[in-house]
Structure 1
Amino acid sequence: MRILYLLGYCLAALFLQMTLFAAFAPGGIVPCLYLLPVVLAAFWSGRGEGALLGLWAGILVDIAAGYNLGQHALATAATGYLAGLAHNKIYKESALLLTLFMFLAAFVHQLLYYLLLGLAGVAVSPAPGLGRIILPTALYTALFVPFLFRYFYRWFYRSRWREQEY
């Protein structure tokens, strides 16, 4: 049931990303808001939930974008899986540490997506792509973590407690 709630968060984040943040994009950079619930779920619940949520969130992004179907799904699922590897290895109560972790996850996600674009035959120049798109997008995405940290932390803590109760 929790995966459906998280998928709803991804859908709401995708809607905000494609409407509000696309209209007011500084320098044409739009944050990957749908990646926030994926990485946070993977960080607090493990690689399985991160990969599954990443796959479904990526499919939603692919459907919304309407081109290169499957590339967002693969990149987001891989990012969710990789973020889930840190599930029991990093201190979870630090918003600063999670912000840095989100920056790394968003960087890896964007890098994977651009590598998949290259494999699909889309010409992507590496230096401008890295300096003008990948790094600013990862930074912009990570800036949202301090604002959402408490909410997601409480939500995951409560849902985990409810699961253990039964």
Structure 2
Amino acid sequence: MLLVWAGLLIITIAVQAVLLPLIFTGGGKPDILLTLVVACGLLAGREQATGIGFFAGIIQDFASGNIFGLNTLSKMAIGYLAGLAERKVFKESVVLPVLAIIIATFLNSAVTQALLLLLGYKIEFISMLRNQMLPTLGYNILFCIPIHRLIYRITFGNRSQF
């Protein structure tokens, strides 16, 4: 199972870092690593999602060239929080991943922006909200159901009725 997750993370970061910037040229781009972490949390639990969030964040930090640790901390926190709901939710629900990714996208942005503020960077909230976060939210919603279904099949195998 470890090899499956490692392969999935490598494929996901390759798609996110190489292919998606060619398709989405505006301000916001989908964060499919975040969507993967949220789906892992909802379906596999907080321990696995925190680990996946850690490795997804480190890979994203290396690939982006931005301040190292921003994505790692935010993805770990999101994985942990999404994993808290694992035993309390109906895993086959289509509404669940949509609601979870909406919350996760806002939390991910809030954690990242708060860390940047703590590091002394000036943030233009209105511009960032309009030009980056809202388009990213829309794209994440589009990707969340297919990724949720993929993670469901990876986690539960052939028992899937999804």
Q: Which AA in structure 1 matches 2:128?
A: G
C-alpha distance in 2 between matches for 1:149 and 1:50 = 13
Superposed, which structure 2 residues align to 1:13-92 within 5 Å?
A: 13-92=12-91
CA contact (8 A) 1:29 1:133 kept: yes
C-alpha distance in 2 between matches for 1:3 and 1:40 = 16
CA contact (8 A) 1:95 1:145 kept: no
Question: What is residue 123 of structure 1 aligned with on the other side?
Answer: 122
CA contact (8 A) 1:10 1:33 kept: no
CA RMSD in angstroms, aligned pairs only: 1.9
Question: What is residue 95 of structure 1 aligned with on the other side?
Answer: 94
User: 1:60-89: CA deviations, max 9, x gaps?
Assistant: 111112231111101110111111111111
Higher alpha-carbon deviation: 133-142 or 145-154: 145-154
Number of residues of Structure 1 aligned to a counterpart in Structure 2? 159
Q: Which runs of 5+ in 2 are unaligned?
A: none
C-alpha distance in 1 between matches for 2:109 and 2:10 = 19
Using CA pairs below 8 Å that are at least 6 residues apart, which structure has the higher relative contact order?
2
C-alpha distance in 1 between matches for 2:121 and 2:51 = 27
Q: TM-score normalised to the size of structure 1? A: 0.86
Runs of 4+ deviating beyond 3 Å: none
**Secondary structure, in 3 states, of the residue corresponding to 1:41?**
helix
C-alpha distance in 2 between matches for 1:30 and 1:16 = 12
Question: What is residue 164 of structure 1 aligned with on the other side?
Answer: none
C-alpha distance in 1 between matches for 2:90 and 2:79 = 18
Q: TM-score normalised to the size of structure 2? A: 0.88
C-alpha distance in 1 between matches for 2:130 and 2:82 = 23
C-alpha distance in 2 between matches for 1:98 and 1:126 = 26
